[in-house]
A = this chain, B = another copy of it.
Amino acid sequence: MAPGPRNADRVFHWSAASAETQGMYDESNSVGAVRPQHALFPEPFRLRAGAVLPGYELVFETYGELNAAKSNAVLVCHALSGSHHVAGVYPDNPMAIGWWDNLIGPGKPLDTRRFFVIGVNNLGGCFGSTGPASVNPATGSPWGADFPVVTVEDWVRCQAALADRLGIERFAAVIGGSLGGMQALQWAIDFPDRVRHSLVIAAAPKLTAQNIAFNDVARQAILTDPDFHGGHFYDKGVVPVRGLRLARMLGHITYLSDDQMAVKFGRMLRSGALRYSFDVEFEIESYLRYQGDKFAGYFDANTYLLMTKALDYFDPALEHGGNLSAALAGVRAGILVVAFSTDWRFAPSRSREIVSALLEHDCDVSYAEIESASGHDSFLMADRHYHDVVRAYLEHIEP
């Protein structure tokens, strides 16, 4: 059974790129104008959680040229709020710059003159791939809360199906940060013959209780918003803005480092003088509320729930009795693990767990711990040392 029609009107293209956070957009070394493509997979797809999707569709973008041997493909996996729009810009919207444009392009660390780069919106997403806002063919209405729980393993299998479609038997590399890094690691576990290198950036082998706790507060904010309507808000003409806004505000605190917040905002007052009211008093409040408002304006609440659950469930060691080394026994890809000193969401110690487990198998593993003030968000920043590490690693991969 074919999936329902796309909800083109619900497709927003978020760009995390901004002059403030990720360096200036420079046309001269960008992949330039890009356009999304679509791939339909009409076969039923059994998810890890047991549910069966009646087919699905993925939206993706590609940059650079696939070589004749089809050996130079690099898959970019996105994190919680990311999308397939990884690099370049949309001709009709010059503000819509890809979220990792500072890393990917001609002459950049992931060099599109050498590699054929693919960005894909994950299943359950809200940027064009089949997700909760898509029409459930069984009901003729949006899936909403009935969209099944998806996992990192499910995403990797979908991405493999997309690779098949593009004639790519084996990726030169799979790369991702945060939840994207977890997908890069899962690729090396599930498809040892189909990935030559995995770049696992700002990730962890599984979430801690504290990580899960933050996710659950965010989910509860959405689930208890009266406008959520049990996940079926699309037909009600409302959006659970309050819940999404709180979820994003909270998430944002965990993406930044304490030090960075202190330097950037400190106790700076919005109006210059104390006002003793519940309006914005400190700059940090203004910043967070702005981030929350912006996010609630374009992101889908059901997708937010699904993404945080995928994070919670990621735990490759689980079916090996908690033994991460056993879970990684079959890895044959070369692995680059990158962590950032001020990342307290997934601290460097969490990355080192992955490195240690890989070293038990004499895996080809490299590890870089970058001094960076930007916390978890460092993986999105154009830090010179970080980019040099990624560049050097990728330069040694034969396309």
Seen from chain A, the residues whose Cβ lies within 8 Å of a Cβ on chain B are 48-50, 145, 148-149, 206-210, 212-214, 216-217, 219-221, 223-226, 242, 245-246, 249-250, 253, 256, 258, 261-262, 264-267, 274, 276-278, 281-282, 284-285, 288-289, 292, 305, 309, 312-313, 315
Contacts and interface: CB of A to CB of B under 8 A. Distances in A.
A210 B261 contact: yes
A312 B258 contact: no
A309 B276 CA distance: 8
B261 A242 contact: no
Given A48-B276, A216-B288, 14 more contacts: A49-B274, A49-B276, A208-B261, A209-B266, A209-B267, A210-B258, A212-B267, A212-B284, A213-B249, A213-B288, A216-B285, A221-B221, A226-B226, A281-B312
B265 A216 contact: no
Contacts of A267: 206-209, 212, 315
Nearest to A252: B213
A293 B297 CA distance: 29
Contacts of A313: 274, 276
Nearest to A288: B213
B224 A261 contact: no
A217 B249 contact: yes
A142 to B, nearest CB: 17
A310 to B, nearest CB: 11
A281 to B, nearest CB: 7
Nearest to A253: B213
B149 A277 contact: yes
Contacts of A305: 278
B50 A312 contact: no
A285 B213 contact: yes
B219 A288 contact: no
Q: Which of A48, A250, A262 has the most chain B CB within a 10 Å cutoff?
A: A250
Contact of A221 (B149, B223, B246): B246
A361 to B, nearest CB: 24
A253 B219 contact: no
Contacts of A213: 249, 253, 261, 284-285, 288
A2 B274 CA distance: 29
23 contacts: A207-B267, A208-B258, A208-B262, A208-B266, A208-B267, A209-B258, A209-B284, A210-B253, A210-B261, A212-B282, A214-B253, A216-B249, A216-B284, A217-B246, A217-B249, A219-B278, A220-B289, A224-B242, A224-B246, A225-B242, A267-B315, A278-B309, A282-B312
Contacts of A315: 267
Contacts of A281: 312
A397 to B, nearest CB: 34
A56 to B, nearest CB: 18
A143 to B, nearest CB: 14
Q: 9 closest pairs, A vs B, by CB?
A: A49-B276, A209-B261, A149-B276, A209-B265, A209-B284, A216-B285, A224-B242, A210-B258, A217-B249
A313 B308 CA distance: 34
A223 B245 CA distance: 13
A252 B207 CA distance: 18
Contacts of A284: 209, 212-213, 216
